[in-house]
Protein backbone atom coordinates (compact mmCIF):
# COMPACT_ATOMS: atom_id res chain seq x y z
CA UNK A 1 0.00 0.00 0.00
CA UNK A 2 1.47 3.30 -1.10
CA UNK A 3 -1.43 5.51 -0.08
CA UNK A 4 -1.38 5.33 3.73
CA UNK A 5 -0.16 8.92 3.95
CA UNK A 6 -3.22 10.17 2.04
CA UNK A 7 -6.99 10.49 2.17
CA UNK A 8 -9.28 9.32 -0.63
CA UNK A 9 -11.58 12.18 -1.62
CA UNK A 10 -13.67 12.58 -4.79
CA UNK A 11 -11.95 9.72 -6.58
CA UNK A 12 -8.43 11.01 -5.89
CA UNK A 13 -5.67 10.21 -3.42
CA UNK A 14 -5.08 13.51 -1.62
CA UNK A 15 -1.67 13.97 -0.02
CA UNK A 16 -1.41 14.89 3.65
CA UNK A 17 1.58 16.64 5.24
CA UNK A 18 0.14 17.24 8.71
CA UNK A 19 0.32 15.18 11.91
CA UNK A 20 -0.03 11.41 11.71
CA UNK A 21 -1.34 8.54 13.82
CA UNK A 22 0.83 5.52 14.59
CA UNK A 23 -0.50 2.03 13.78
CA UNK A 24 0.99 -0.67 16.01
CA UNK A 25 1.53 -4.38 15.48
CA UNK A 26 -0.50 -6.20 18.14
CA UNK A 27 1.99 -9.03 18.54
CA UNK A 28 5.07 -6.85 19.07
CA UNK A 29 3.96 -3.32 19.86
CA UNK A 30 6.08 -1.99 16.98
CA UNK A 31 4.87 0.87 14.79
CA UNK A 32 4.08 -0.64 11.38
CA UNK A 33 2.34 2.28 9.64
CA UNK A 34 1.34 5.92 9.93
CA UNK A 35 -1.93 7.41 8.68
CA UNK A 36 -3.18 11.02 8.55
CA UNK A 37 -4.56 12.68 11.66
CA UNK A 38 -6.78 14.70 9.35
CA UNK A 39 -8.68 17.84 10.30
CA UNK A 40 -12.16 19.21 9.78
CA UNK A 41 -11.28 20.71 6.39
CA UNK A 42 -10.45 17.31 4.89
CA UNK A 43 -13.66 15.80 6.21
CA UNK A 44 -15.72 18.70 4.89
CA UNK A 45 -14.12 18.23 1.46
CA UNK A 46 -15.08 14.56 1.49
CA UNK A 47 -18.65 15.33 2.53
CA UNK A 48 -18.93 17.94 -0.20
CA UNK A 49 -17.72 15.38 -2.76
CA UNK A 50 -20.24 12.80 -1.57
CA UNK A 51 -23.02 15.39 -1.60
CA UNK A 52 -22.20 16.45 -5.15
CA UNK A 53 -22.06 12.83 -6.35
CA UNK A 54 -25.38 11.85 -4.79
CA UNK A 55 -27.68 13.29 -7.46
CA UNK A 56 -26.27 11.13 -10.25
CA UNK A 57 -25.53 8.00 -8.20
CA UNK A 58 -29.01 7.98 -6.65
CA UNK A 59 -30.37 7.77 -10.21
CA UNK A 60 -27.90 5.09 -11.35
CA UNK A 61 -29.28 1.85 -12.72
CA UNK A 62 -29.32 -1.36 -10.72
CA UNK A 63 -27.07 -2.93 -13.35
CA UNK A 64 -24.50 -0.17 -12.80
CA UNK A 65 -24.47 -0.74 -9.05
CA UNK A 66 -24.24 -4.51 -9.45
CA UNK A 67 -21.30 -4.15 -11.83
CA UNK A 68 -19.37 -2.08 -9.28
CA UNK A 69 -20.07 -4.60 -6.52
CA UNK A 70 -18.96 -7.44 -8.80
CA UNK A 71 -15.68 -5.60 -9.36
CA UNK A 72 -15.36 -5.02 -5.62
CA UNK A 73 -15.98 -8.70 -4.91
CA UNK A 74 -13.26 -9.72 -7.37
CA UNK A 75 -10.82 -7.28 -5.78
CA UNK A 76 -11.56 -8.56 -2.27
CA UNK A 77 -10.90 -12.13 -3.41
CA UNK A 78 -7.72 -11.14 -5.21
CA UNK A 79 -6.26 -9.33 -2.19
CA UNK A 80 -7.58 -11.71 0.48
CA UNK A 81 -4.14 -12.84 1.61
CA UNK A 82 -2.95 -9.26 2.03
CA UNK A 83 -6.11 -8.34 3.92
CA UNK A 84 -5.77 -11.30 6.29
CA UNK A 85 -2.14 -10.54 7.15
CA UNK A 86 -2.84 -6.82 7.55
CA UNK A 87 -5.68 -7.38 10.03
CA UNK A 88 -3.77 -10.15 11.79
CA UNK A 89 -0.90 -7.77 12.47
CA UNK A 90 -3.10 -4.83 13.48
CA UNK A 91 -5.74 -6.60 15.57
CA UNK A 92 -4.03 -9.80 16.68
CA UNK A 93 -6.48 -12.38 15.31
CA UNK A 94 -4.46 -15.52 14.43
CA UNK A 95 -3.72 -15.72 10.72
CA UNK A 96 -5.68 -18.92 10.13
CA UNK A 97 -8.83 -17.33 11.59
CA UNK A 98 -8.13 -13.96 9.99
CA UNK A 99 -7.99 -15.62 6.57
CA UNK A 100 -11.46 -17.12 6.96
CA UNK A 101 -13.10 -14.32 8.94
CA UNK A 102 -11.36 -10.96 8.49
CA UNK A 103 -10.69 -11.53 4.78
CA UNK A 104 -13.37 -14.13 4.00
CA UNK A 105 -16.46 -12.46 5.45
CA UNK A 106 -16.15 -9.18 3.48
CA UNK A 107 -16.18 -11.12 0.21
CA UNK A 108 -19.03 -13.34 1.44
CA UNK A 109 -21.16 -10.37 2.47
CA UNK A 110 -20.58 -8.64 -0.86
CA UNK A 111 -21.65 -11.83 -2.64
CA UNK A 112 -24.88 -12.04 -0.63
CA UNK A 113 -25.88 -8.57 -1.81
CA UNK A 114 -25.01 -9.41 -5.40
CA UNK A 115 -27.40 -12.35 -5.19
CA UNK A 116 -30.12 -10.34 -3.47
CA UNK A 117 -30.15 -7.13 -5.50
CA UNK A 118 -31.74 -8.36 -8.75
CA UNK A 119 -34.87 -9.43 -6.87
CA UNK A 120 -35.08 -6.65 -4.30
CA UNK A 121 -38.35 -4.66 -4.68
CA UNK A 122 -37.21 -1.06 -4.96
CA UNK A 123 -40.87 -0.31 -5.73
CA UNK A 124 -44.08 -2.21 -5.08
CA UNK A 125 -47.82 -1.75 -5.46
CA UNK A 126 -50.05 -1.17 -2.43
CA UNK A 127 -53.66 -0.65 -3.46
CA UNK A 128 -53.78 2.56 -5.51
CA UNK A 129 -50.26 3.53 -4.33
CA UNK A 130 -46.84 2.86 -5.71
CA UNK A 131 -44.43 2.53 -2.79
CA UNK A 132 -40.90 3.51 -3.71
CA UNK A 133 -37.68 2.91 -1.76
CA UNK A 134 -35.28 5.80 -2.27
CA UNK A 135 -31.66 6.20 -1.08
CA UNK A 136 -31.37 8.15 2.16
CA UNK A 137 -28.54 10.41 0.94
CA UNK A 138 -24.95 10.94 2.09
CA UNK A 139 -24.01 8.33 4.69
CA UNK A 140 -21.30 8.79 7.30
CA UNK A 141 -19.73 5.47 8.29
CA UNK A 142 -17.73 5.18 11.51
CA UNK A 143 -16.25 1.74 12.04
CA UNK A 144 -14.42 -0.20 14.80
CA UNK A 145 -11.00 -1.82 15.00
CA UNK A 146 -11.92 -5.38 15.98
CA UNK A 147 -13.30 -6.48 12.57
CA UNK A 148 -12.08 -3.48 10.60
CA UNK A 149 -12.89 -4.44 7.01
CA UNK A 150 -15.88 -6.65 7.74
CA UNK A 151 -17.67 -3.82 9.54
CA UNK A 152 -16.87 -1.37 6.73
CA UNK A 153 -18.26 -3.76 4.11
CA UNK A 154 -21.46 -4.24 6.14
CA UNK A 155 -22.07 -0.51 5.72
CA UNK A 156 -20.69 0.59 2.37
CA UNK A 157 -21.92 -2.32 0.24
CA UNK A 158 -25.63 -1.94 1.08
CA UNK A 159 -25.27 1.86 1.09
CA UNK A 160 -23.81 1.88 -2.42
CA UNK A 161 -26.35 -0.74 -3.51
CA UNK A 162 -29.15 1.50 -2.23
CA UNK A 163 -27.86 4.47 -4.27
CA UNK A 164 -26.28 6.36 -1.36
CA UNK A 165 -22.88 8.03 -1.32
CA UNK A 166 -20.46 7.37 1.51
CA UNK A 167 -17.83 9.02 3.67
CA UNK A 168 -15.87 6.53 5.77
CA UNK A 169 -13.88 7.23 8.92
CA UNK A 170 -12.07 3.99 9.74
CA UNK A 171 -10.77 3.10 13.20
CA UNK A 172 -7.36 4.64 13.77
CA UNK A 173 -6.07 1.51 15.57
CA UNK A 174 -6.64 -0.69 12.50
CA UNK A 175 -7.09 1.47 9.39
CA UNK A 176 -4.99 -0.30 6.75
CA UNK A 177 -7.63 -2.69 5.42
CA UNK A 178 -9.86 0.33 4.70
CA UNK A 179 -7.07 1.68 2.52
CA UNK A 180 -6.95 -1.64 0.66
CA UNK A 181 -10.70 -1.28 0.13
CA UNK A 182 -10.28 2.26 -1.21
CA UNK A 183 -7.60 1.04 -3.62
CA UNK A 184 -9.94 -1.70 -4.86
CA UNK A 185 -12.84 0.72 -5.32
CA UNK A 186 -10.54 3.16 -7.10
CA UNK A 187 -10.04 0.46 -9.74
CA UNK A 188 -13.78 -0.08 -10.30
CA UNK A 189 -16.32 1.86 -12.33
CA UNK A 190 -17.60 3.65 -9.22
CA UNK A 191 -18.02 7.35 -10.08
CA UNK A 192 -15.93 9.94 -8.29
CA UNK A 193 -17.27 11.06 -4.93
CA UNK A 194 -19.50 8.05 -4.26
CA UNK A 195 -16.95 6.62 -1.81
CA UNK A 196 -14.58 8.75 0.26
CA UNK A 197 -12.16 7.87 3.06
CA UNK A 198 -10.78 10.29 5.65
CA UNK A 199 -8.46 9.08 8.40
CA UNK A 200 -8.33 10.82 11.73
CA UNK A 201 -9.52 10.97 15.31
CA UNK A 202 -13.11 10.88 16.42
CA UNK A 203 -13.14 14.24 18.17
CA UNK A 204 -12.15 16.01 14.95
CA UNK A 205 -13.11 14.22 11.73
CA UNK A 206 -15.69 11.99 13.41
CA UNK A 207 -17.37 14.95 15.07
CA UNK A 208 -17.49 16.83 11.76
CA UNK A 209 -19.01 13.84 10.01
CA UNK A 210 -21.85 13.24 12.46
CA UNK A 211 -22.81 16.93 12.75
CA UNK A 212 -22.57 18.02 9.10
CA UNK A 213 -26.01 18.96 7.68
CA UNK A 214 -25.29 17.33 4.31
CA UNK A 215 -24.88 13.94 6.02
CA UNK A 216 -28.36 12.39 6.24
CA UNK A 217 -27.44 9.15 7.98
CA UNK A 218 -24.74 7.91 10.35
CA UNK A 219 -23.97 4.20 10.50
CA UNK A 220 -21.80 3.40 13.50
CA UNK A 221 -20.30 0.30 15.08
CA UNK A 222 -18.43 0.68 18.37
CA UNK A 223 -18.90 1.35 22.05
CA UNK A 224 -22.25 2.17 23.62
CA UNK A 225 -20.79 5.35 25.10
CA UNK A 226 -19.76 6.68 21.67
CA UNK A 227 -23.03 5.50 20.15
CA UNK A 228 -24.91 7.57 22.70
CA UNK A 229 -22.94 10.67 21.76
CA UNK A 230 -23.70 10.04 18.08
CA UNK A 231 -27.40 9.55 18.76
CA UNK A 232 -27.59 12.88 20.62
CA UNK A 233 -25.69 14.73 17.88
CA UNK A 234 -27.75 13.17 15.09
CA UNK A 235 -31.00 14.09 16.84
CA UNK A 236 -30.28 17.79 16.44
CA UNK A 237 -30.46 17.39 12.66
CA UNK A 238 -32.96 14.49 12.55
CA UNK A 239 -30.44 12.24 10.82
CA UNK A 240 -31.17 8.58 10.48
CA UNK A 241 -28.89 6.44 12.65
CA UNK A 242 -27.88 2.79 12.65
CA UNK A 243 -25.97 1.88 15.81
CA UNK A 244 -24.38 -1.50 16.54
CA UNK A 245 -22.79 -1.30 19.95
CA UNK A 246 -21.75 -3.31 23.00
CA UNK A 247 -22.76 -6.66 24.38
CA UNK A 248 -22.56 -8.87 27.45
CA UNK A 249 -24.09 -11.95 25.96
CA UNK A 250 -25.28 -14.93 27.97
CA UNK A 251 -24.84 -18.59 27.10
CA UNK A 252 -27.63 -20.41 28.95
CA UNK A 253 -26.82 -24.07 29.54
CA UNK A 254 -29.99 -25.92 30.59
CA UNK A 255 -29.78 -28.93 32.94
CA UNK A 256 -30.40 -31.52 30.20
CA UNK A 257 -27.73 -30.13 27.82
CA UNK A 258 -24.53 -31.92 26.84
CA UNK A 259 -22.41 -29.98 29.33
CA UNK A 260 -19.03 -30.68 27.72
CA UNK A 261 -20.20 -29.60 24.26
CA UNK A 262 -21.98 -26.51 25.60
CA UNK A 263 -18.97 -25.36 27.61
CA UNK A 264 -16.62 -25.95 24.69
CA UNK A 265 -18.89 -24.02 22.32
CA UNK A 266 -19.22 -21.15 24.78
CA UNK A 267 -15.48 -20.90 25.44
CA UNK A 268 -14.63 -20.99 21.74
CA UNK A 269 -17.12 -18.19 21.08
CA UNK A 270 -15.96 -16.14 24.07
CA UNK A 271 -12.30 -16.30 23.06
CA UNK A 272 -12.76 -15.61 19.33
CA UNK A 273 -10.52 -12.69 18.38
CA UNK A 274 -9.21 -12.80 21.98
CA UNK A 275 -12.63 -11.75 23.20
CA UNK A 276 -12.62 -8.61 21.05
CA UNK A 277 -16.03 -9.44 19.62
CA UNK A 278 -19.22 -7.58 20.47
CA UNK A 279 -21.27 -10.80 20.32
CA UNK A 280 -18.89 -12.81 22.53
CA UNK A 281 -20.62 -15.20 24.94
CA UNK A 282 -18.87 -13.79 28.00
CA UNK A 283 -21.44 -14.95 30.60
CA UNK A 284 -21.95 -18.72 30.93
CA UNK A 285 -25.05 -19.54 32.96
CA UNK A 286 -25.09 -23.07 34.42
CA UNK A 287 -27.30 -24.94 36.91
CA UNK A 288 -25.90 -24.45 40.41
CA UNK A 289 -25.26 -28.18 40.90
CA UNK A 290 -23.20 -28.28 37.67
CA UNK A 291 -21.21 -25.11 38.38
CA UNK A 292 -17.98 -26.73 39.57
CA UNK A 293 -17.93 -29.27 36.73
CA UNK A 294 -18.56 -26.50 34.21
CA UNK A 295 -15.66 -24.48 35.64
CA UNK A 296 -13.35 -27.50 35.35
CA UNK A 297 -14.36 -27.99 31.72
CA UNK A 298 -13.88 -24.27 30.98
CA UNK A 299 -10.44 -24.25 32.59
CA UNK A 300 -9.41 -27.25 30.50
CA UNK A 301 -10.70 -25.57 27.34
CA UNK A 302 -8.81 -22.30 27.88
CA UNK A 303 -5.64 -24.22 28.80
CA UNK A 304 -5.53 -25.49 25.21
CA UNK A 305 -5.63 -21.92 23.88
CA UNK A 306 -2.33 -20.46 25.02
CA UNK A 307 -1.37 -17.08 23.52
CA UNK A 308 1.15 -17.01 20.69
CA UNK A 309 2.40 -15.20 17.60
CA UNK A 310 -0.73 -14.50 15.52
CA UNK A 311 1.23 -14.87 12.28
CA UNK A 312 1.85 -18.57 13.00
CA UNK A 313 -0.68 -21.01 11.55
CA UNK A 314 -0.90 -23.04 14.77
CA UNK A 315 -1.77 -20.10 17.05
CA UNK A 316 -5.33 -20.12 18.42
CA UNK A 317 -5.23 -17.12 20.77
CA UNK A 318 -3.57 -13.89 19.71
CA UNK A 319 -2.89 -10.61 21.52
CA UNK A 320 -5.28 -7.74 22.03
CA UNK A 321 -5.22 -4.89 19.52
CA UNK A 322 -3.63 -2.16 21.62
CA UNK A 323 -1.83 -1.40 24.85
CA UNK A 324 -4.88 0.54 26.00
CA UNK A 325 -7.18 -2.45 25.47
CA UNK A 326 -4.71 -4.84 27.15
CA UNK A 327 -4.51 -2.59 30.22
CA UNK A 328 -8.30 -2.24 30.37
CA UNK A 329 -8.78 -6.01 30.33
CA UNK A 330 -6.11 -6.57 32.99
CA UNK A 331 -7.84 -3.98 35.19
CA UNK A 332 -11.09 -5.94 34.84
CA UNK A 333 -9.35 -9.18 35.80
CA UNK A 334 -8.00 -7.45 38.91
CA UNK A 335 -11.50 -6.12 39.58
CA UNK A 336 -12.90 -9.65 39.38
CA UNK A 337 -10.46 -10.77 42.07
CA UNK A 338 -11.30 -7.73 44.22
CA UNK A 339 -15.03 -8.41 43.87
CA UNK A 340 -14.48 -11.88 45.32
CA UNK A 341 -15.28 -14.06 42.31
CA UNK A 342 -13.41 -17.37 42.07
CA UNK A 343 -10.39 -17.21 39.73
CA UNK A 344 -10.61 -20.54 37.94
CA UNK A 345 -7.99 -19.98 35.21
CA UNK A 346 -5.74 -17.20 33.93
CA UNK A 347 -5.13 -14.01 35.83
CA UNK A 348 -3.70 -10.52 35.42
CA UNK A 349 -0.07 -11.55 34.90
CA UNK A 350 1.42 -11.51 31.39
CA UNK A 351 1.45 -14.92 29.69
CA UNK A 352 4.78 -16.77 29.68
CA UNK A 353 6.92 -16.09 26.62
CA UNK A 354 4.82 -13.11 25.54
CA UNK A 355 6.98 -10.24 26.73
CA UNK A 356 6.29 -8.12 23.64
CA UNK A 357 2.91 -7.16 22.29
CA UNK A 358 -0.46 -6.87 23.95
CA UNK A 359 -1.10 -10.35 25.31
CA UNK A 360 -3.53 -11.31 28.09
CA UNK A 361 -4.16 -14.74 29.58
CA UNK A 362 -7.49 -16.37 28.80
CA UNK A 363 -9.25 -16.02 32.15
CA UNK A 364 -12.23 -17.78 33.74
CA UNK A 365 -14.07 -16.61 36.86
CA UNK A 366 -16.50 -18.87 38.72
CA UNK A 367 -19.32 -18.07 41.15
CA UNK A 368 -19.73 -14.69 39.49
CA UNK A 369 -22.44 -12.68 41.20
CA UNK A 370 -25.26 -11.23 39.09
CA UNK A 371 -25.21 -7.45 39.34
CA UNK A 372 -21.46 -7.21 39.93
CA UNK A 373 -19.41 -5.00 37.63
CA UNK A 374 -17.60 -8.02 36.18
CA UNK A 375 -20.96 -9.55 35.26
CA UNK A 376 -22.52 -6.32 33.97
CA UNK A 377 -19.82 -4.46 32.05
CA UNK A 378 -18.39 -5.25 28.62
CA UNK A 379 -14.72 -6.21 29.02
CA UNK A 380 -13.84 -6.87 25.36
CA UNK A 381 -11.13 -9.37 26.18
CA UNK A 382 -10.65 -13.11 26.85
CA UNK A 383 -12.58 -13.20 30.15
CA UNK A 384 -15.43 -15.65 30.86
CA UNK A 385 -17.86 -15.31 33.78
CA UNK A 386 -19.45 -18.56 35.02
CA UNK A 387 -22.73 -17.81 36.82
CA UNK A 388 -24.77 -20.42 38.72
CA UNK A 389 -28.58 -20.28 38.54
CA UNK A 390 -31.37 -22.03 40.46
CA UNK A 391 -34.00 -22.77 37.81
CA UNK A 392 -35.03 -21.85 34.27
CA UNK A 393 -36.81 -18.68 35.31
CA UNK A 394 -33.75 -17.59 37.28
CA UNK A 395 -31.52 -18.24 34.24
CA UNK A 396 -33.75 -16.11 31.98
CA UNK A 397 -33.81 -13.33 34.59
CA UNK A 398 -30.01 -13.28 34.85
CA UNK A 399 -29.55 -13.50 31.07
CA UNK A 400 -31.82 -10.48 30.60
CA UNK A 401 -30.35 -8.62 33.55
CA UNK A 402 -27.93 -6.30 31.75
CA UNK A 403 -28.41 -3.14 29.69
CA UNK A 404 -27.25 -5.04 26.60
CA UNK A 405 -29.01 -7.38 24.18
CA UNK A 406 -26.84 -8.24 21.20
CA UNK A 407 -26.39 -11.99 21.20
CA UNK A 408 -26.89 -15.12 23.28
CA UNK A 409 -27.02 -18.89 23.25
CA UNK A 410 -29.19 -21.67 24.64
CA UNK A 411 -28.16 -25.32 25.00
CA UNK A 412 -30.58 -28.19 25.65
CA UNK A 413 -31.13 -31.79 24.62
CA UNK A 414 -34.72 -30.77 23.83
CA UNK A 415 -34.70 -28.55 20.73
CA UNK A 416 -38.20 -27.22 21.38
CA UNK A 417 -37.30 -26.29 24.96
CA UNK A 418 -34.16 -24.54 23.73
CA UNK A 419 -36.18 -22.51 21.21
CA UNK A 420 -38.77 -21.61 23.86
CA UNK A 421 -36.07 -20.27 26.20
CA UNK A 422 -34.31 -18.53 23.31
CA UNK A 423 -37.57 -16.73 22.55
CA UNK A 424 -37.53 -15.23 26.04
CA UNK A 425 -34.08 -13.70 25.73
CA UNK A 426 -34.16 -9.95 25.07
CA UNK A 427 -31.43 -10.01 22.47
CA UNK A 428 -31.01 -9.59 18.72
CA UNK A 429 -29.77 -13.09 17.96
CA UNK A 430 -29.58 -16.41 19.80
CA UNK A 431 -27.48 -19.43 18.86
CA UNK A 432 -29.53 -22.55 19.62
CA UNK A 433 -27.40 -25.62 20.32
CA UNK A 434 -24.50 -24.15 18.36
CA UNK A 435 -26.46 -23.18 15.24
CA UNK A 436 -24.36 -21.71 12.42
CA UNK A 437 -24.03 -17.98 11.87
CA UNK A 438 -26.20 -16.88 8.92
CA UNK A 439 -25.01 -13.83 6.91
CA UNK A 440 -28.49 -13.44 5.38
CA UNK A 441 -30.26 -13.07 8.74
CA UNK A 442 -30.70 -9.69 10.48
CA UNK A 443 -28.02 -8.70 12.97
CA UNK A 444 -28.38 -6.04 15.64
CA UNK A 445 -29.29 -5.44 19.23
CA UNK A 446 -31.93 -4.69 21.81
CA UNK A 447 -31.51 -1.97 24.44
CA UNK A 448 -28.05 -0.45 24.74
CA UNK A 449 -26.71 -2.82 22.08
CA UNK A 450 -28.10 -0.83 19.21
CA UNK A 451 -30.67 0.56 16.82
CA UNK A 452 -31.23 -0.92 13.38
CA UNK A 453 -30.09 -4.10 11.67
CA UNK A 454 -27.27 -5.20 9.38
CA UNK A 455 -26.93 -8.16 6.96
CA UNK A 456 -29.39 -9.30 4.32
CA UNK A 457 -32.37 -7.30 3.13
CA UNK A 458 -32.64 -5.68 6.56
CA UNK A 459 -29.17 -4.18 6.11
CA UNK A 460 -30.17 -2.75 2.72
CA UNK A 461 -33.42 -1.29 4.06
CA UNK A 462 -31.51 0.77 6.62
CA UNK A 463 -30.22 2.96 3.77
CA UNK A 464 -33.60 3.51 2.08
CA UNK A 465 -36.35 6.05 2.62
CA UNK A 466 -39.98 5.11 1.87
CA UNK A 467 -42.08 7.21 -0.49
CA UNK A 468 -45.72 6.67 -1.59
CA UNK A 469 -47.16 7.78 -4.91
CA UNK A 470 -50.97 7.95 -4.67
CA UNK A 471 -52.27 7.05 -8.13
CB 239 within 8 A of CB 215: yes
Helix axis angle for 392-399 and 415-422, nearest 10°, is: 40
DSSP label at 202?
I
Q: What angle do CA 186, 40, 203 make, to 5 degrees?
A: 105
User: Catalytic one among 42, 90, 244, 462?
Assistant: 244
Phi first, then psi, for residue 208 (nearest 5°) are -60, -40
Residue 178 pairs in a beta bridge with: none
Query: What is the bridge-based pairing of β-strands 363-366 and 464-470?
Result: unpaired
CB 12 within 8 A of CB 194: no
Distance CA 225, CA 13 (A): 33
Distance CA 186, CA 12 (A): 8
DSSP label at 75?
H
Sheet strands (E) in 305-354: 342-345
User: Catalytic one among 278, 378, 454, 462?
Assistant: 278
Distance CA 283, CA 406 (A): 13
How far is residue 235 from each of residues 47, 218, 342, 417, measured CA to CA in Å? Answer: 19, 11, 44, 42
Distance CA 52, CA 50 (A): 5
CB 312 within 8 A of CB 306: no
C-alpha of 40 from chain center: 26
Q: 3-state DSSP call for residue 179?
A: helix
Active-site residue flag, 354: no
Residues 6+ apart with CB under 8 A from 210: 140, 142, 218, 230, 233, 234, 239
Residue 154 burial by Cβ neighbours in a 10 Å radius (0-12, 13-18, 19+) = buried
Query: What is the bridge-based pairing of β-strands 464-470 and 165-169?
Result: unpaired
DSSP label at 443?
B
Active-site residue flag, 295: no
**Could you list the active site residues?**
244, 278
Amino acid sequence: MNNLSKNYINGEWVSWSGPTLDVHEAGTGDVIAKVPASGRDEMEQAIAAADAAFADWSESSLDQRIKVLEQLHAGLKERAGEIAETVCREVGMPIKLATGIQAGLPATITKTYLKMLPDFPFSEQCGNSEVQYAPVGVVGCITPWNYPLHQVILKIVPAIAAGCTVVLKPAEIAPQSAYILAEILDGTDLPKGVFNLVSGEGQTVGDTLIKHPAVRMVSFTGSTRTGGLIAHAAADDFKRIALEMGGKSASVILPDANLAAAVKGTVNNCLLNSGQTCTALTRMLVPADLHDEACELAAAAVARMTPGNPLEETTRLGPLASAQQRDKVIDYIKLGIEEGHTLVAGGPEAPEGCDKGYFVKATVFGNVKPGSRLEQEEIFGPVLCVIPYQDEADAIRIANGTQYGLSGAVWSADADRAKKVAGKLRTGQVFVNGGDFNPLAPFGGFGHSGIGREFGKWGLEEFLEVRSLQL
